[in-house]
Structure formats: C-alpha cells, structure tokens
Amino acid sequence: MSENKYQKEIDAIIIENDAKILVETAQKIAGEMIQIKRNGKGIDEGASVSTSQIRNIYGSSKKIEMSLDKNNMPLMYNRLILLKPKMAYANGRFNKKLRWGDKIPGFKTLVDSLSYAIDKVDGDYDRMKNFFNFFEAILAYHKAEGGK
C-alpha cells in the first residue's frame, strides 16, 4: 500500500463512515484536480483533470455499485480491486509530460486516494458503500470547482 497524504481522512471515511470528513476531503481532492492558474497567468486547462479522464474509472465503479448486494459481495469486491490497475493505466496515460515539463498532479492524487480507499474496503459491504459515496463526492466537487 503506497503512502497517501489523506490516509487519516480516508480511514475515517471508509472505516468509520464519517460524512463530515468525507465532504471535506472530497472537496480538497477535487480542488487539487483543478489547476486554474499557472505561474500567475490565466486558465491552464491542460493542467487540470477533465471529466473524460475520470469517466472510464467512474463508469466501472458505478457498474460495480449498481450490481452490489450482500449476496455477491466477494465478486464485487474482486471487481473493485481490479479498478486499481485500470486507474494506474489511466494515470500513466493521462499524466503525460506537458509542454512545460510538469505532470497533472491532481490525477495522481485522485488515483492514490481511491487506491488507498479500495485497500481499506477490505471486503466489507458497508465500507464498499462508503467508497462509492467518497468517489461520487469527489466528482461532484470536481464539477463544482469548474472541472470540465
């Protein structure tokens, strides 16, 4: 399991079902996904995470959530774990070098946070529901912060 700067918060979200921390952390992660200014100059959408970059991962997550019930938990948990390599691939694909040599840090923050959260689900039905709520909140704040 890799180090994540939101570990403490994600533990509270996934394990303890802390809605207040879920909202605060989702807003922080979404804020990191939107890079409005670069070196004090105008909008630089190339440094922000777009909705299309997230769509494939979120779509897979939503399918798992919609199929989830207590009777198929082991199967759905395995499918959730398989989102981790899909996210790693998306991070590598979309986090290419930009023209100024930087990467899109917000996408890596998203992938690292969701991967850590998946590890904390640990096959538990309620924790998995908390994961889906967390992911949905991040996307909602991403859109609210101006994500395209």
Give the residue among 95, 86, 31 at the shortest CA–CA distance from 56: 86
Residue whose token pair is 């079902």: 17
Query: Which parts of the chain register pLDDT below 50?
Result: 1, 37-38, 42-43, 45, 97, 99-100
Q: What is the pLDDT of residues 23-64, one digit of tens each?
A: 999 999 998 888 654 455 544 545 567 676 788 899 999 999
From CA 36, how far away is CA 44, in angstroms rounded? 6
Q: Give the integer Cα–Cα distance in Å for 130 and 68.
A: 13
pTM value? 0.86
What are the structure tokens assigned to 7, written together? 């570990």
Q: Domain locations in the chain?
A: 7-144
